[in-house]
Structure 1
């Protein structure tokens, strides 16, 4: 598989984008762009947890419904979900209906609610390596797990978070711009420098 593909607009992109317009939009506008804020990072954590074992495009296509049924991923609201909400979510074909992941999201929201404002952001970003990190040349150069994602996972688990394994946290680090894994030659790699 090539590491770069040229899109219909003539721009070279990371090849995982393929020819899907939603993936292209996500790659161009979100993936690798620094993301801050407790609510935004809680949403990212929840969606990455739901993605475990699935393709990210599945989550992207369901993201609007996830946001709707999970109260915009406002931790204060999600933390108050009860068994009725769990059953409502389990019956909603617009999301990933996995009881363990739903319960983890609600439990994780409770942990975030108990943190000081900005604490989740500060905690997660404390594991980001310097932005001067290597530029991957090929897909084979992109790790699935790093020392930083392992350390983040370990600390989040110590605090009681669930569905925050080292691989899931590295995916979060990539998507939230804590690391820049745009392949060398991708127009976003050039833009992000």
Structure 2
């Protein structure tokens, strides 16, 4: 048989439990509305338009479906609030990847932990995937070594990832 809309809360709870066990991905409950975000009118209007396209993702060509957004600014300027508003506006669950935890070494090598987190999130789609403080692990300045490989993987993954994942990345350093 098929599942009806009444099964959605149970499915979301199972997904929440599954990702929270990873130690690097966290389900973020509750959200805020775009109207609660002060200023940023350009970003908000962009999100309204892209939200419409994202909802039609199954019927559109890949090039038209928005893949994500990078929000940069100093700590405390509302980047996290914006990401929560995106999730709410898109009517999708929000999952946060903790880049500091990825690089802590408690979950194996950072490259493996990052790849595993991205792959797992493809199975959780549709969702908004938040890479918090993405500059902690994704930089183009170090092209060799582990960070270079993570950056290369991320670029390829963004191009090929599941249509139902909208990536919202936040960064404090604006000199990326």
Greater share of strand: 2
TM-score (norm 1): 0.24
Which structure would you say has the larger Rg?
Answer: 1
